[in-house]
């Protein structure tokens, strides 16, 4: 199905909305000049458009299969992955010491989005590896780094994360996988893990599993968990993949979507593993990978939203149905008011989600390059918003895309339904969106709301600069969100915070969306008559007002949630 990476949108957001130039001004990222950024985005777009997008349908129609213990991937996926690896895209932000490009996370985020829009099933593979690279860079021993990082950065080997077990989903502390010292510096890992994205493939030399397990002296709960590197094939002294480790893919999950991505049930039977980080410090190390993946998953949702938007617009521009009410219009359904409403909603929300994600990535880069505590706090605050709102946007926009297609949207041959089926899981993995929201109102508010208020100060400045009705509307929305944030921080009972966490996160995302839209419109310079001003006006007038009801729901706390008993609910 046709897809074109929105390179011009990335450039515009970088230049006029989130300030990527600040990143390039640091010593660490001095090579990320405007020319380099343009070249990277252009070349990655060519890969996404010409190599990956044609594989999208293959993954759905010809799913990955497990045959005689071997995973067989979808047609063309091996060649697509080879193109990703050979282009150096896996290690874009990895340390140059191990073969990486050392580029800003902001650029990697944009490239990950365009690859997700082209073929989400395949893009999941390098995303997992990127997260593992970061975890190893921060927590692995020098020996493990020297062995694994060059091979993972090149894409010769790929990585996974193994957290979930049948009885331990979001409650990771309930895991039962065991790690027993072998006496030679290695450990025997035994247990079963489920929902392992890209647990195996037939196109990389080795698959490197980061596995959470408990040592014999590990206390119950998350504080007793350690992290281990458990490769599919045990490396030889010269770093070649050697004998098979004692692990296997038990089965592949039968999923709603993402059929090209083999989601595996993994079994470890005294498999040889190496400790990553400190004993009983596994969650700290794994969270490094998970935080990387949360932003990555957020842009997966945005990538699918972009693809679904393009797909719907192409259909609406050609489909003739009924008498069109617009004189001199296209003569197709794109002229109908409700179809136009849907298309503009898709485009406006996708832009807002994209700007949130790229702003988050810029803050990550600035924090890393400068050590600035305020940028680190800003990045931490934006991460759950980027993940949750990005994936919600993918779900909502792809669903609207089906509606734009009408009855044909429900017919698989059009491809509209695949976007909806593929993206649905992104709101679940790497911490459900409810968990992201709970993190936002609890852990991210441990500073008394200081980081949130600082961000709202930026929104206020944008509103004041914009002026007029749009600026006033954004200022009022930011004021209401500020009052709601103060109310949240004042609640001693965390359950009152958690009850309104999801509407709070969405309200915050909508206010930020208005902020980014007005910044984009201001930079357009067409006297308020350009396309970005039109889209900003649509967002401010028709989408931002949702924040009123959301903030009201937040301030209800947990009241009323438990007024019905379980018997009442099942009556």
Q: Please, what are the domains in the chain?
A: 7-151 (1.10.540.10), 159-281 (2.40.110.20), 432-560 (no CATH)
Q: What is the pLDDT of residue 286?
A: 78
Q: What is the pLDDT of residue 526?
A: 72
Are 352 and 512 within 8 A, CB to CB? yes
Q: What is the pLDDT of residue 323?
A: 85
Residues of the chain with pLDDT under 70: 1
> In which element (H, E) is residue 389 found?
helix 373-405
| CA pair distance 399, 404, nearest whole angstrom | 9
Q: Which residues are CB-neighbours of 567 under 8 A, at least 6 positions away? A: none
Residue whose structure tokens are 């990655």: 44
Q: What is the pLDDT of residue 336?
A: 95
Q: What is the pLDDT of residue 561?
A: 93
Residue 496 C-alpha from the chain's centroid: 27
- What is the token pair recorded at 72? 């067989």
Report, in angstroms and rounded to the nearest whole number, the Rg of the chain calculated over CA atoms: 24
Q: What is the pLDDT of residue 1?
A: 57
Residue 61: how many other CB atoms lie within 10 Å: 13
Exposure on the CB side of residue 323, measured as CA atoms within 13 A: 2
Strand-pairing partners, residue 212, are 227
| CA pair distance 43, 39, nearest whole angstrom | 6
Q: Which residues are catalytic?
A: 430
């Amino acid at each position: 199905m046709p897809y074109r990476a929105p390179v011009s949108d990335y450039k515009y957001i970088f230049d006029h909305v989130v300030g990527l130039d600040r990143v390039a001004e640091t010593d660490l990222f001095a090579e990320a000049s405007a020319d380099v950024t343009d070249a990277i985005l252009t070349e990655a777009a060519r890969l996404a458009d010409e190599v990956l997008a044609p594989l999208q349908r293959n993954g759905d129609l010809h799913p990955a299969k497990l045959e005689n213990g071997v995973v067989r991937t979808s047609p063309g996926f091996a060649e697509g992955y080879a193109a990703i690896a050979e282009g150096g895209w896996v290690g874009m932000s990895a340390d140059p010491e191990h073969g990486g490009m050392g580029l800003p996370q902001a650029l990697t985020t944009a490239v990950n989005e365009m690859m997700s829009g082209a073929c989400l099933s395949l893009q999941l593979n390098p995303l997992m590896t990127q997260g593992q690279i970061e975890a190893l860079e921060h927590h692995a021993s020098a020996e493990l780094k020297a062995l694994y990082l060059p091979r993972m950065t090149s894409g010769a080997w790929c990585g996974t994360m193994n957290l979930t077990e049948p009885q331990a989903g979001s409650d990771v502390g309930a895991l039962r996988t065991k790690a027993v010292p072998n006496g030679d510096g290695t450990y025997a890992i035994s247990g079963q893990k489920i929902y392992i994205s890209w647990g195996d493939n037939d196109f990389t030399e080795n698959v490197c599993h980061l596995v959470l397990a408990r040592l014999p002296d590990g206390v119950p709960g998350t504080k007793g968990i350690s992290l281990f590197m458990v490769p599919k094939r045990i490396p030889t002294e010269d770093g070649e993949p050697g004998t098979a480790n004692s692990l296997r893919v038990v089965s592949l999950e039968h999923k709603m979507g993402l059929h090209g991505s083999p989601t595996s049930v993994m079994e470890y039977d005294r498999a040889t593993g190496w400790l990553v980080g400190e004993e009983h410090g596994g969650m700290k190390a794994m969270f490094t990978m998970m935080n990387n993946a949360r932003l990555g998953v957020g842009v997966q949702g945005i990538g699918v939203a972009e693809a679904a938007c393009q797909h719907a617009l192409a259909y609406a521009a050609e489909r003739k149905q009924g008498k069109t009410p617009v004189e001199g219009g296209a003569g197709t359904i794109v002229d109908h008011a409700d179809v136009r409403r849907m298309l503009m909603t898709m485009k406006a929300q996708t832009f807002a989600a994209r700007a949130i994600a790229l702003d988050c990535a810029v803050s990550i880069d600035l924090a890393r390059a400068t050590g600035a505590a305020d940028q680190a706090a800003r990045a931490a605050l934006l991460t759950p918003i980027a993940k949750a709102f990005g994936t919600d946007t993918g779900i909502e926009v792809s669903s609207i895309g089906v509606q734009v297609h009408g009855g044909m949207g429900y017919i698989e041959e059009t491809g509209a339904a695949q976007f909806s089926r593929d993206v649905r899981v992104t709101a679940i993995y790497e911490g459900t969106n409810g968990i992201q929201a709970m993190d936002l109102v609890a852990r991210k508010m441990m500073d008394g709301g200081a980081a949130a208020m600082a961000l709202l100060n930026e929104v206020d400045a944008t509103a004041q600069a914009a002026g007029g009705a749009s600026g006033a509307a954004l200022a009022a929305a930011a004021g209401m969100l500020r009052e709601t944030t103060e109310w949240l921080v004042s609640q001693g009972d965390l359950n009152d915070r958690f009850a309104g966490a999801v509407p709070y996160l969405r309200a915050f995302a909508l206010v930020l969306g208005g902020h980014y839209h007005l910044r984009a419109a201001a930079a357009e310079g067409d006297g308020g008559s350009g396309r970005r001003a039109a889209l900003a006006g649509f967002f401010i007038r028709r989408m931002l007002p949702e924040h009123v009801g959301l903030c009201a729901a937040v301030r209800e706390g947990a009241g009323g949630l438990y007024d019905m008993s379980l018997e009442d609910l099942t009556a």
